[in-house]
Amino acid sequence: MAGRGVTRTRFAPSPTGLLHLGHAFSALVSAGKASPGQFLLRIEDIDRDRCKPEFEAAIFEDLAWLGLEWRQPVMRQSDRMAVYRDALSYLGDLGVTYPCSCTRGDIKAALSAPQEGALIHGPDGLIYPGTCRGRSMRDLREDDVIRLDAGRAFDLIRDNMLSFRDGRAQVLGRDAFLSGIGDVILARRGMGTSYHLSVVLDDAAQGIGLVTRGLDLFDSTWIHVLLQRLLDLEAPDYHHHRLIRDEDGKRLAKRDDARSLRELRGQGLSAAEIRALVGM
């Protein structure tokens, strides 16, 4: 951590597209909550197929144009694969992971069996029905993903209850986690890690004391808090901010190029006008 009374925050974009107004808002919120010199940047580039160097360059340029300054060096997730691998093997030794070969179709078919009831979505899509849960990590095959055995994970933590601070204390019990989130993926096919595993390790490594990000990630935070407990990492505080929406109330996505900062800048908007547009 950055030390007593000092708040260190970060902005962690993925270079899979151009930054838009929603990113600008997120970065500004994060930088605004940091103590002087304690705003960090992290490039979340584990998805090698979708990340592009030109988008990474655009991130630096657009954030600087917005008037933001971040502490050096910038962390890049693609440099940290060994750290993710070690954590996965540690979790494997704890007995809380298993390999899984199910496709989305397999999962849907398993969940659509009449006795399973309505399909429930968690932060990562359909709640995994546990088909591969009995498999051993010794049988890990090339095309498998690695999942967290959430039930076993809860067996290892002391009070069967997760909590984190976001303004006030938030709590979630074992049953709610198992039914609403379930056995999430910790290492995606061909990727060697996942957003959840990497973000937890990186926030800890960067000494982030306050994680700021959009409300769309609120439920993912439960996964992160569980991983922090398993990996014995210090838990940061959280601030999940409101989302910037388009005129139809839809959350902005990277494919909405029309609202990219680039495009708006090209139309002659100033950084101050961008701030005003997102209500800052």
Told to check if 14 binds ligand GLU by CB under 6 A, we report yes
DSSP per residue, 89-148: HHHHHHT-EEEE---HHHHHHHHHSGGG-S--EETTEEPP--TTTT--GGG--TT-EEEE
Stretch that binds ligand GLU, among 6-14, 86-94, 96-104, 243-251 (CB under 6 A): 6-14
Shorter beta-carbon distance to ligand GLU: residue 108 or 165:
165
Place of tokens 């979708």: 50
Nearest residue to 236 (alpha-carbon basis) of 257, 216, 259, 213: 213
Tokens of 203: 């926030």
CB closer to ligand GLU out of 58 and 199: 199
The radius of gyration of the chain from alpha carbons, rounded to an integer in Å, stands at 20
Q: Which stretch binds ligand GLU (CB under 6 A): 9-17, 92-100, 140-148, 241-249?
A: 9-17
Q: Contact between 56 and ligand GLU (CB under 6 A)?
A: no
Q: Which residue has the tokens 């151009």?
A: 18
Rounded to 5°, angle at Cα 232 from 222 and 192: 70
Q: Among 11-19, 61-69, 98-106, 225-233, which window interacts with ligand GLU (CB under 6 A)? A: 11-19
Q: What is the DSSP string of 51-95?
A: --HHHHHHHHHHHHHTT---PSSPEEGGGGHHHHHHHHHHHHHHT
Among 8, 196, 213, 259, binds ligand GLU (CB under 6 A): 213
Rounded to whole angstroms, the Cα distance separating 231 from 201 reads: 9
Least gap, CB of 199 to ligand GLU (angstroms)? 5
And the tokens for 72? 């050096």
Q: Which is nearer to ligand GLU, 144 or 224 (CB)?
A: 224
Question: Which positions from 143 through 202 interact with ligand GLU, judged by CB under 6 A?
Answer: 199
For the segment 26-55, give every residue that binds ligand GLU (CB under 6 A). Answer: 44
Among 2, 7, 13, 177, indicate the residue that binds ligand GLU (CB under 6 A): 13
Residue 270 beta carbon to ligand GLU: minimum distance, rounded to whole angstroms: 25
Residue 92 binds ligand GLU (CB under 6 A): no
Stretch (H or E) spanning 150: helix 150-156
Q: Which of residues 97-136 bind ligand GLU (CB under 6 A)?
A: none
Name the site residues for ligand GLU (rule: CB under 6 A).
12-14, 44, 199, 213, 217
